[in-house]
Amino acid sequence: MQSFDLAADGLRALNATLHALKDHTNETEWEIVNPRGAHAIAVGVDAPVEITVRGSTGYYCAGMNKQATIRIRGSAGPGVAENMMSGKVIVDGDASQYAGATGRGGLLVIKGNASSRCGISMKGIDIVVHGSIGHMSAFMAQSGNLVVLGDAGDALGDSLYEARIFVRGKVKSLGADCIEKEMRPEHLELLAGLLERGEAAGKARPEEFRRYGSARRLYNFSIDNAGSY
């Protein structure tokens, strides 16, 4: 395992080192020590490597991730895994605002709670939250899946497109054009796979969740819906 001391060598050197990794690298296991809440740790990684951050992080950790598996042994600040393309990001603690924002692929797992705007404008990413999520989560979410084992705050799925939302607990309120939908066999199968991949298979069963999605009333302008735009 390659070890990098962020306190000694600095963020710029860390990210430059990780950006230099190629698909065929034999340096496949990395640990980052002394993160001390630094911002932009391990952003833009594009190699099939495993990175463990031993401590909590600041803004945008693992942003734009591609291929890598990045585990944060602590909590994450705003924008963790923002605009992720592929790979996997696991947060062992809690995540702050807009976790997984604009994510286009891959899997984000949050073992604790996520704050407001989790999954905002998600575009293909899968997000599994073991705890609860805050208000305005999945706002304008276009595609992908958001799975919440706990509760959801106000305005869930506001202005939703075609993303799927599965919530096990209570939903404080639904946003504009978001409605509860039937949980069909194909959704139970999809959810079982997401729980397995999200390290939550032993914590919940697919039958315990409700599904939410777009009512599709806002796809085209209608004067009757003017107050919802």
Residue 61 domain-assigned (yes or no): yes
CATH number at residue 163: 2.160.20.60
Q: How far is CA 55 from the centre of its chain?
A: 19
Domain for residue 228, yes or no?
A: no
Tokens describing residue 10: 């600095």
- C-alpha separations of 151 from 47, 58, 112, 142, 215 in Å: 35, 25, 12, 21, 21
> What is the predicted pLDDT for the residue at 221?
62
* pLDDT average, residue stretch 135-139: 98
Let me know if residue 226 belongs to a domain. Answer: no
Number of H helices, E strands in the chain: 3, 11
Reported pTM: 0.94
Report the pLDDT value the prediction gives residue 169, as an integer from 0 to 100.
98
Q: What six digits make up the tokens of 224? A: 């009757």
C-alpha triplet 188, 132, 130: angle, nearest 5° = 55
Sequence length of the chain is 229
CA end-to-end span of the chain: 51
Provide the domain count of the chain: 1
198 falls within a domain: yes
- Under the banding of pLDDT at 50, 70 and 90, the label for residue 24 is confident
Tens of pLDDT, residues 181-202: 999 999 999 999 999 999 999 9
Q: Is the pLDDT of residue 52 over 60?
A: yes
| Residue-wise pLDDT tens digits, 145-169 | 999 999 999 999 999 999 999 999 9
Q: What is the pLDDT of residue 229?
A: 52
Instruction: Decide if 222 is inside a domain.
Output: no
| Domain contains 196 | yes
The pLDDT value given to residue 173: 98
* CA atoms within a 13 Å half-sphere pointing along the CA-CB vector of 53: 34
Give the model's confidence band at 22: pLDDT under 50 very low, under 70 low, under 90 confident, else very high.
confident
pLDDT of residue 192: 98
Report yes or no on 213 lying in a domain: yes
**How confident is the model over 67-87, as a mean pLDDT?**
98
- Structural domain that includes position 128: 2-217
Rounded CA-CA distance 169/133 in Å is 10
